[in-house]
Structure 1
Amino acid sequence: MNKPKIYIDGQAGTTGLEIVKRLSNREDIELLKIPDDKRHDDVVRKEYMKEADLVFLCLPDAASIEAIKLIDDKTKVIDASTAHRTNPDWVYGFSELSNQQKQKIKSSYRVANPGCHATGFISIVYPLMKHQFIQKDTLLSCTSLTGYSGGGKSMIAQYETEKTSDLYAPRLYGLSLQHKHLKEMKQICHLEKTPLFCPVVDDYYRGMLTTIMIEGNKEEIVQLYQDFYQDTFIEVTKDEETYLSANLYAQKDNLKICIHGNDQQVMISALFDNLGKGASGAAIQNMNLMLGLEEYKGLSY
């Protein structure tokens, strides 16, 4: 049987580089690598896309929309940008939401990879909505802490080579409360109200910690998550930590739900790697499903 051929459009970006690194030693796929001087040549790009069985788009939103025009309908695509995450013609690439969602990913030719902050938010909120611990009209408040690699090459350079005094402290951003991940958070979780969302970037390379707080009984909520995520890539713990460090799952591709609180108020946190389950790891997980491979092959956990 021929090995599936994989092409990464945008292989020089942060997400693209991570996928290249993870796939380079895979013996069950063939990685097509375009020469650096041809990365922006649409004629050559189209040739690589035509040869591939699956294409990763690791591009800015507008560039992803243009790239789709170069790809044959018979070629499978995973888009890592924001461009298609709320598009009904694309499947949202979060297999742990349900067995039905996993089957949709397996059979789809167009999968939108979730956003990093959205991954944390949805992993927490979707089970609560599904089992009516919260209602559609609930106004949720969420904080999400990320390492600076989430800002791409320009932010990495800023922190590592052009560092100023303000970069030694946590920095709130998205201050207009209109972060680009909010649309998918709201749509996938079937919320009527846009969440109040505060992202924070800090002086470490990779890792993410997304948190919401709700009223409820801790033991009931722990049981809900344990049942919901049974036999998935998401683990659930309670009261294991005195502190939660956002880089604890750096270099891992799975996600941990951490639950703290009491019988009236509960803090629920998603701990994962913004470059792992929040980007490249999730993309490879979706690739494995779309190509009929073992779902967690090549992933770290």
Structure 2
Amino acid sequence: MKPKIYIDGREGTTGLQIYERLGGRDDLELLLIDEDKRKDTEERRRFLNAADIVFLCLPDAAARDAVSLIENETTRVIDASTAHRTEPDWDYGFAELSKAHRAAIAASKRVANPGCHASGFISSVYPLVAREVVPADFAFTCSSLTGYSGGGKKMIAEYEDENRDPRHASERIYGLNLQHKHLPEMEYVCGLTQPPVFVPVVGDFYKGMATTVMLPSVDARRVQEALEAHYEGQRLVTVAPFGGDEPVIYANALAGKDSLRLIVCGHARQAIVTALFDNLGKGASGAAVQNMNIMLGLDEATGLTV
């Protein structure tokens, strides 16, 4: 019998991207709610409880409400919202962080899908803290450049409006209160004692992301060796040769891919690590589908573009 899959919030950017990755697969049964009933609580309850795996592509409060509607012990949940990423009863859905993370996802009933900016930061920092290249109380700084699809339908419409603000042609720095919603998971998942100073930036391109962590007084070669050892054998997270695949980094270079590539640059006294990926791929929907594949015991890259 094929696993039954339901996407709650399929009309949003993340939900649509998940649907695109699953729509052509013949090893799954997609449960599709009638359009005029997608906000009907009782109809949603029926679909949520009929599914083997549910994707929640909803605002935080709505995601919590959706979980409360699940009344059986069999429905498994992958939540793409921020709501449960620091909850100890939920497993964090980044399988490449450790064997323990992968095993937890495979057995989990409740998986919190990582945030896009957080994926870039955590993929770089978690191995360095775990391998004691940098201490947990290190004063991390990070800048993350994303395509405008990361802002969802509202920002997409804003950037694609023919009468848009002409300033959108340049990069826009935001989150200036230094309290971005991904900071708690960055700190929590990496086991840090203080949040990083984090600056997000949106650019005039649809999708793609380059998240750069700055590491003063750290040997870049040691960083390279630690990341290569940590991600050895992984298919969806890889490490570029020292200094990168070319002497520059384009934030949209992996647009359309569901993989992530780490690039280490620097010298004996300073290092930077850039996580290069698609904010809608390994930063959102691709990661969610990867987690589903692991939970179902399938090849993790099934339906994904590496």
- The one-letter code matched in structure 2 to 1:196 is V
State the partner residue of 1:216: 218
Per the alignment, residue 297 of structure 1 pairs with 302
Match of 2:232 in 1: 230
C-alpha contact (below 8 Å) 2:133/2:222 kept by paired residues? no
| 2:9 corresponding residue in structure 1 | 10
* Pairing of 1:1-301 with structure 2 (within 5 A): 2-71=1-70, 72-161=72-161, 162-214=163-215, 215-232=217-234, 233-237=236-240, 238-239=242-243, 240-301=245-306
Matched residues in 2 for 1:73 and 1:38: separation? Answer: 25
Could you state the TM-score of these two structures normalised by the residue count of structure 1? Answer: 0.98
**Can you list the C-alpha shifts for 1:144-167, whole angstroms capped at 9, x where unaligned?**
000000000000000002421111
SS in 2 for 1:212: strand
TM-score normalised by the chain length of structure 2? 0.96
What are the Cα deviations for residues 72-105 of structure 1, in whole angstroms up to 9, with x where unaligned?
Answer: 3320000000000000110000000111110000
Kindly state the Cα deviation for residue 255 of structure 1 after the two structures are TM-superposed.
0.3
Q: CA–CA distance in 1 between the matches of 2:136 and 2:297?
A: 35
Unaligned runs of 5+ in 1: none
Aligned partner letter, 1:163? R
Distance 2:123 2:98 in 1: 12
List per-residue Cα deviations over 1:16-67 (Å, max 9, x = no partner): 0000111000111111111111110011111111211000000000100111
SS of the residue corresponding to residue 118 of structure 1 reads: helix
Secondary structure of the residue aligned to 1:43 is: helix
Aligned amino acid, residue 112 of structure 2: A
CA distance in 1, matches of 2:122, 2:218: 18
Q: Distance in 2 between matches of 1:82 and 1:146?
A: 18
Amino acid at match of 1:80: A
Instruction: Give secondary structure in 1 for the equivalent of 2:273.
Output: strand
Aligned-partner residue type, residue 155 of structure 1 = M
Could you tell me the percent identity over the aligned residues? 53
Q: Which runs of 5+ in 2 are unaligned?
A: none
The 3-state SS of whatever aligns with 1:74 is coil
- Map Cα deviations across residues 112-152 of structure 1 (whole Å, 9 max, x no partner): 00000000000000011011111111110000000000000
What amino acid is aligned across from residue 246 of structure 2 in structure 1?
E
Once the two structures are overlaid, the 10-residue window that deviates more, 95-104 or 159-168, is 159-168
